[in-house]
Structure 1
Amino acid sequence: MMPVSHLKIGGMSCQGCANRIEKALRRHGAVRHAEVSFAAETARVEHDADIGAAELALWVSGMGFRARVLSSDVPESGEAKPLAPDWRLKLLLALTATFVPGMAGMVFGSHALMPPLWWQVAAATVVQLYLAQPFYRRAWAALRAKSANMDVLVALGTVAAYGYSLAMMRHGAHAVYFETGVMVIAFVSLGKYWEARLKRHSLNGLALLFKLMPQQARVWRDGAWTDVPAGEVALGEKLLGVHGGRVAADGTVLSGEAWADESHLTGEAAPVPKAAGDTVLAGSVLHGSVAYRADKLGSETLLGDMMRALAQAQAEKAPAAALADRVAAVFVPMVGAAAVLAFVANVAAGTGSGTALVRAVAVLVAACPCALGLATPAAVMAGMAAAVRHGVWFKTPAALEAAADADTAAFDKTGTLTEGRPDIVAVWTAPHFDAETVLRAAAALERHSLHPFAAAIVRRAEAGQPALPAVSDPHTEAGQGIAGVVDGIGTVRTGSPAFCGLDTADLPDEAVWRDQSIAAVAVNGKAAGAFAFADALKPDSAAAIKRLKQMGMEVCILSGDRSEAVARTAAALGISQAWGGLSPRGKTEIIARLNAQGKHVAMFGDGINDAPALAAAAIGFAPYGSSAAAEHSAQAVLTRPSVAQAADAFALARATRRTIRQNLFFAFAYNTMAIPMAACGAFSPTVAGMAMACSSVSVLLNALRLKNRWFGKQI
């Protein structure tokens, strides 16, 4: 398998930087594929075994960026340190403030409030020769790589304004534009600061997840409870979970009782009771105290797996993001040509070379494609973080987009819509036998059997009932049933009707007895009763199907169970299309048929036999706890063993798609309007810089709306 390295990259100022790094990595002979995320500031690189991640990081650093190696398995802590403006930005803003009164006066046609010319020259020189150096370095690196980005546009525009103003001053002219370079650099830098602040503090869903993992754990060592760092806990050790504390590992309760808040993993707000033998999940908050065994640690826990999945998904590009990247890559050269054309056209129209230059600079600054590059990754990152909060893990951004396009939901029945275990749905007793005696006799015997029907009988009998009687000489008849002597009752048999001497013609003439599986009971050689079994629906399946229909989704069932049982389940859920008796190939064939009809199918399944169908669908969902084959084949995982979150998944995906389209519209609309307005002198380079910064921030803010919605109610 080809090695995959993950890098953290700093110093990217716009999507053009990410595109440049990506192209350079892909040109490297040992690199097979590379994806760079500007929003997540990460790179995922597939490469040959003869090159290491450290070499790749050095190579990226040589391009003028900061790069370091990340673990491919465990994402680093997302704890975001406060991002304060550095001294360079503070000095820029201070110098800019001296020009603000003059700029305000110019709106009314007065230059009286503009600083003295010597100050304008001094301030502009400090900015151009010192404070703007990061722009120049990044612009030069981009040009050396035979590409162009926002920094190239800003550098060209501000240097042109500064050089022109110096030339005019030497010729005694007063039409100088020193303030243009100062204010453009300042406003673009301020916009990048706010952009970085929003990305760091709001789009990072990993930071929220890392806060759920406790830093300390209480471990039983050398006969006493000892506090140790959570990272030093060993597999199999005994841990103590205290009231109000968080669980440090996925494990099994050994003693004690508590309620666990697992909403961070399951999306279910109601606390879950925990007692000996129950499972606890890392990050859960306890109300009560339990001792538990550490079964999974770190990245192997459900919380760790969620963080790894989120980190990997956010580092990949969605198809829409790839399209935006391609547009942005050709946009910068086109803007340069537009600026030259604006200058020539204004000079030809008699505007004057100074005014023409200012308008060309305004075109360069206004047309920076920052918002375009951020439009999709910002929405995808916010959507991924919101999905995790609502109990849905999309493995890739492409899966998120596929869920938004889905119009048909296909469900496996057993274990997905139903509990996946048989339960008693009807009881019949022969004359002179009462139901309680028959049930207790059968349950006492069935405790010695591993058959699924036996477990259902025992569950029913033990629910609030006194202890079952003892059994002597239990023995199994292969393929028939089990027999033995039950204290206080006599010789009892349970199993097939023939084994128990039951004539099925004696059973009620009802559908439940004709269609369901039956187990009979005989007491002292006489048929005493029978049980009908069915796989009960999960409590929330009906509500989930109803929500999907309200969203306009078509719903169907694809099951390997008997057609009669599938038809009953479909009728109970109000589903009109249902197929039963299907093999794994049969399920994939029906999905292929639906695909051929133009449907976008989302498949939900939990079993090994569902894996081919999950892979064949436009997107496959596996409820948590599904088989390893199902979870591997699915493109998304629900964090609860139910389909209650299915509607949330589709609603969230559709909301993310809407946000992507809104962001792209904002970005294209801004650039479409800004270029001709700047060319005509409708606004100055300073105003263009402010508007450009505002467009990027507005795209980020629009994406962040996804994180503040409760999708079940608002979408």
Structure 2
Amino acid sequence: MDPVTDNDQSGEWFKLAIALVFAGQGMALGLGYNNARLAGEGPEFGGLVYWLIHGALLASALIVLLLLGLPLLRATFVALRRKQLTIEALFTLSMLGALVGSIVSSATGQSSVYYEIVAIVLSIYTVGRLVGARQRRKVEQELAALRDAFANAYVLDPSGARREVPVGLVDPAHDRVEVRPGEPIPVDGKILEGVGYVQEMSLTGEPDAVPRKPGDAVLAGTYSVDARFTLLPEATTQRQLDRILSIVERAGEQPSRLQAQADRLMRYFVPTVVVASLATYVGWTLTGAPWWESLFNAMAVLLVACPCALGLATPLAVWRSLYGLSQLGVVARSATIIDGLAMAEGVIWDKTGTLSEGVLQLREWRGAPGAEDRQTWLRQAVASVEDLWPHPIARALAQISSERLDVADTRLLPGKGVEAEVDGRLLQIGSSALLPETRPDWAAPEGDREVWVLENERPVTQIILQEGLREDAAPAMQAMNELGLEGRVLTGDPHPRWTQIGSAPVEAGLSPLAKQERVQQLVHDRRWLYVGDGINDAAAMTSGVTAIAMGSGAALTRSTAEGVLLGDSLASLPQAIRMCRHVRRVVQGNLWFAACYNLVGMGLAAVGWLHPVAAALLMVVSSFLVSARALAAANSGGPDEDHSTKRSRKEADPLD
């Protein structure tokens, strides 16, 4: 379908609105005329009223055609020049068949008219084209916004002054890039000066800001939390961030699986309809039938094969299913999510921010011997100090007490923590780098997320933090198992708390590109659903999987995925899969019914047993039947009858 740019998007929707007004008037007038004609009460052929009615019907169809038909005709022409028969060809053939048949009927007065079919076909095509263009434009805007956020770098002059330049103009051989606290890191490179924390969660999935020092590598797309860094840019033509964004862009240019299937079907169905219609006209002409009778029978073949039965019922099932998904908290960006959820054979979970909350929780508060009576005050003091800082660990520590004390002279200790005066005492809070050379013998073994509290430079408390799973993570993973879906957990966290979550093994320390490569390996064996939240998931989401992003995830990830999980409730995913499986079975049944109906109807029309009026009625009846069936399926959601759901339930596996 033709792309729709930002400049003409609003104009296209305005055209559609005007066209629908004319289409509605034409459909009402056409229905009244056809009913009156069948009852023998229609206006006399050739009379003024007759021509006024038919002129108005023709004008309404032509107005709709002028407003909405050019993109369809252009797309059909381009496809034919490439010797391709796409779904546009079927829309065009049905539209022109209905228009020509109606004009012949108006000119001869021998039959009913079908001008409304022109409006129906064009409206269905236009809505699909505009919605698809809107989604493509949204992804492009998110990609552009992310690029813009990391588009410029501050380069240090020989005098030490800094100037802002585009990233593409940074010279790795001579330039040094400065990044101050809170600023984005715009280049892949190595730290020359500075010690502090870097927030890498969007690229690596690591929930905590990680300490970085001279000699450590950093990536564009991350942020300095508390330090001033001087960086040596990496001598490369493309940042890892750019490679991820390029992967997402290329994926957006590929046709969806459903579109590709429809195009393959059209390669056989469109020639069949054309040949059948032409053969009908030639056959009846050779038997001596009047030309208009031959044309009517040929038009009947086209009308009975009109895609309205499929073009109305299947979109109805799709849109009602999308509404059902939204009620479950799954907002779809594309209708392909229905097929993807229905056919999924496994689930790939991101850990941080998806299965886990992405925030740290207090696991243990260990006080030094002799300081037991001061622990309540220390909790209040730690919470008061950390409440002043935006660091992820600080947010966790600020929750350990609701009481707040007066804090003075707060200072940042880059790469170590913070210090402040509370009630006249010097309090230091941070990593083990604050400790003297000898680790206290009363402390627990060193862990990945330990925080130390020093009072007047003496260790008084060891705090152990841990990552926690969402409350609905275990039930959701168990429900997926009962649906027959294998589970995998991929994370960029180099030191995850778990080696297995439920029955799903955890693969740790994966970079964004490593995640993508792993997913590409997995898709060779089965169809996967991918659930993630970070920018580090965006590339993996484009690797042949159906992707769902957490509602709290990165904007790019939400735009890349086929669906977004609002409220971040994982419990709705098994329900969504059950509903989509049921709807897909019903839609497939409708396709078989429509195929048989079209073959039988085209055969009856070809031998002259099906007048265009009867063909139109059959089209309406068939559309009603498949639409009612599709609507019932989408509304009910239906039980999942897949054999995998008949397995006996098992107890949820332990999480640790």
Which bin holds the TM-score, normalised by the shorter protein?
Answer: 0.5 to 0.7
Q: Does 1:495 align with 2:437?
A: no
Equivalent runs, 1:187-198 vs 2, <5 Å: none
Letter in 2 for 1:470: D
1:259-338 equivalences in 2 (<5 Å): 318-327=259-268, 329-338=270-279
Structure 1 residue 687: Cα displacement = 3.4
| Contact 1:563–1:579 (Cα < 8 Å) also in 2 | no
Structure 1 distance, partners of 2:635, 2:573, is 19
Q: 1:590 aligns with which of 511, 518, 522?
A: 518
Could you give the per-residue CA deviations for residues 386-420 of structure 1, whole angstroms, max 9, x where no partner exists?
54555444434455544444333222212222222
Show the counterpart of 1:486: 422
| Equivalent position SS for 2:401 | helix
Distance 1:162 1:197 in 2: 23
Cα-to-partner distance string for 1:291-348 (whole Å, 9 max, x where unaligned) = xxxxxxxxxxxxxxxxxxxxx9999983344445545532432221452477489x69
Contact 1:318 1:401 in 2 (8 A): no
Residue of structure 2 in register with 1:395 after alignment: 333
- Paired residue for 2:533? 606
Contact 1:335 1:367 in 2 (8 A): no
Aligned: 1:440 with 2:380: yes
Distance 1:468-1:430 versus aligned 2 partners, 3 A rule: same
Deviations 1:20-78 (A, max 9, x none): xxxxxxxxxxxxxx44xxxxxxxx4479xxxx959xxxxxxxxxxxxx93369x99899
Q: 2:34 aligns with which of 59, 75, 92?
A: 92
Alpha-carbon distance in structure 1 between the residues aligned to 2:100 and 2:536: 61
Structure 1 counterpart SS, 2:497: helix
Mapped partners of 1:638, 1:332: distance in 2: 42
Counterparts of 1:586 and 1:659, CA distance in 2:
38
Aligned 8 A contact 1:429 1:438 in 2: no
Aligned to 2:365: 427
Aligned residue type for 2:93: N
**Alignment match, 2:405:** 469
Judging changes above 3 Å, is the alpha-carbon distance between structure 1 residues 708 and 92 closer, same or farther for their aligned structure 2 residues? Answer: same
Structure 1 partner of 2:547: 620
Task: Using the TM superposition, give the Cα deviation of residue 582 of structure 1 relative to its aligned residue in structure 2, in angstroms.
Answer: 1.6
Q: Name the structure 2 match of 1:664.
A: 591
Listed one character per residue, the Cα deviations across residues 218-263 of structure 1 (whole Å, up to 9, x for unaligned) are xxxxxxxxxxxxxxxxxxxxxxxxxxxxxxxxxxxxxxxxxxxxxx
TM-score in terms of structure 1 length: 0.55
Name the count of aligned residue pairs: 497
Deviations 1:184-211 (A, max 9, x none): 53xx56888999999999xx999xxxxx
* 1:172-571 superposed matches below 5 A: 181-182=110-111, 184-185=112-113, 318-327=259-268, 329-340=270-281, 343=284, 365-374=303-312, 376-388=314-326, 390-398=328-336, 401-432=339-370, 433-434=372-373, 435-447=375-387, 450-462=390-402, 467-487=403-423, 490-497=425-432, 499-500=434-435, 503=439, 506-507=442-443, 515-523=447-455, 527-567=459-499, 570-571=500-501
Counterpart among 93, 110, 114 of residue 149 in structure 1: 93
Q: Secondary structure at the match of 2:492?
A: coil
User: Is contact 2:320-2:635 (8 Å) kept?
Assistant: no
Cα pair distance change 1:681/1:584, threshold 3 Å: closer
How big is each residue's C-alpha offset from its partner over 1:589-647, in whole Å with a ceiling of 9 and x where there is no partner?
A: 21121123x23333333223333323334233332342344345434433344545544
Question: Does the CA-based 8 Å contact 1:153-1:336 persist in structure 2?
Answer: no
Q: Secondary structure at the match of 1:428?
A: strand
In structure 2, distance between residues paired with 1:668 and 1:554: 35
**Offset of residue 670 of structure 1:** 0.8
- Separation in 1 of the partners of 2:359 and 2:635? 38
Deviations 1:409-443 (A, max 9, x none): 22221222222222212222344405534422433
Tell me the SS of whatever aligns to 2:405: coil
- CA-based RMSD: 5.6
* Counterpart residue type for residue 600 of structure 2: M
Percent same amino acid at aligned positions? Answer: 23
Alpha-carbon distance between aligned partners in 2 of 1:438 and 1:620, rounded to the nearest angstrom: 45
Q: Following the alignment from structure 2 to structure 1, what is the Cα–Cα distance between the partners of residues 451 and 380? A: 14
CA contact (8 A) 2:357 2:467 kept: yes
**Contact between 1:520 and 1:530, CA under 8 Å: does it hold in 2?**
yes
Letter in 2 for 1:417: L
Report which structure shows greater RCO (CA 8 Å, sep ≥6).
2
Q: Are the aligned partners of 2:582 and 2:639 in contact in 1 as well (CA < 8 Å)?
A: no
Q: CA deviation at 1:679?
A: 5.4
Cα distance between partner residues in 1 of 2:123 and 2:539: 44
Give the Cα–Cα distance (whole angstroms) in 2 for the partners of residues 123 and 665 of structure 1: 46
**SS in structure 2 at match of 1:318:** helix
Taking structure 1 as reference, are residues 712 and 580 closer, same or farther at Cα in structure 2, changes over 3 Å only?
A: farther
Q: CA deviation at 1:531?
A: 1.6
Find out whether 1:696 has 2:588 as its counterpart: no
1:581 matches 2:505? no
What is the distance in 2 between the residues matched to 1:331 and 1:134? 31
Q: Distance in 2 between matches of 1:124 and 1:331?
A: 39
User: Any idea what the Cα deviations from partners look like across 1:633-667, whole Å, max 9, x if unmatched?
Assistant: 43443334454554455456545544542332232
Q: Distance in 2 between matches of 1:389 and 1:98?
A: 49
In the aligned structure 2, how far is the partner of 1:697 from the partner of 1:635? 29
User: Deviation of residue 122 (structure 1)?
Assistant: 9.2
Deviation at 1:697, TM superposition (A): 3.5
- Is the Cα contact below 8 Å between 1:195 and 1:696 reproduced in 2? no
Q: Which one-letter code corresponds to 1:423 in the other structure?
A: Q
Report the Cα distance in structure 2 between the residues aligned to 1:161 and 1:198, rounded to whole angstroms.
Answer: 25
- What CA distance in whole angstroms lies between the structure 1 residues aligned with 2:564 and 2:364? 35
Give, in whole Å, the separation in 1 of the partners of 2:609 and 2:261.
32
Call closer, same or farther: CA 1:372–1:633 in 2, change over 3 Å.
closer
Identify the range of structure 1 (648-657 vs 427-436) with the bigger mean alpha-carbon deviation: 648-657
Structure 2 counterpart of 1:69 = 11
Task: Say whether the 8 Å CA contact 2:383–2:398 is kept in structure 1.
Answer: yes
Equivalent pair of 1:417/1:537 in contact (CA under 8 Å)? yes
CA deviations 1:434-461 (Å, max 9, x no partner) are 5534422433443455543332222111
Deviation at 1:695, TM superposition (A): 1.8
Contact 1:492-1:521 within 8 A present in 2 as well: yes
Distance in 2 separating the partners of 1:129 and 1:422 = 72
The TM-score normalised by the length of structure 2 is: 0.59
One-letter code aligned to 1:599: R
Could you tell me how far apart the structure 1 residues matched to 2:345 and 2:339 are?
Answer: 12
* CA distance in 1 between partners of 2:8 and 2:389 (Å): 55
Question: Which residue number in structure 2 is paired with residue 59 of structure 1?
Answer: none
Tell me the distance in 2 between the aligned counterparts of 1:205 and 1:459. 44
Letter in 2 for 1:612: A
Cα gap change, 1:316 to 1:381, in 2 (>3 Å): farther
CA deviation after TM superposition for structure 1 residue 558, in Å: 0.9
AA of the residue aligned to 1:408: G
CA apart distance, 1:576: 2.2
Structure 2 residues without counterparts, runs of 5 or longer? 81-88, 133-252, 643-656
Contact (CA 8 Å) 2:104, 2:292: kept in 1 or not?
Answer: no
1:3 corresponds to: none
Match of 1:252 in 2: none
Q: Provide the rounded CA distance (Å) in 2 between the counterparts of 1:710 and 1:425.
A: 42
Q: Which amino acid aligns with 1:553?
A: L
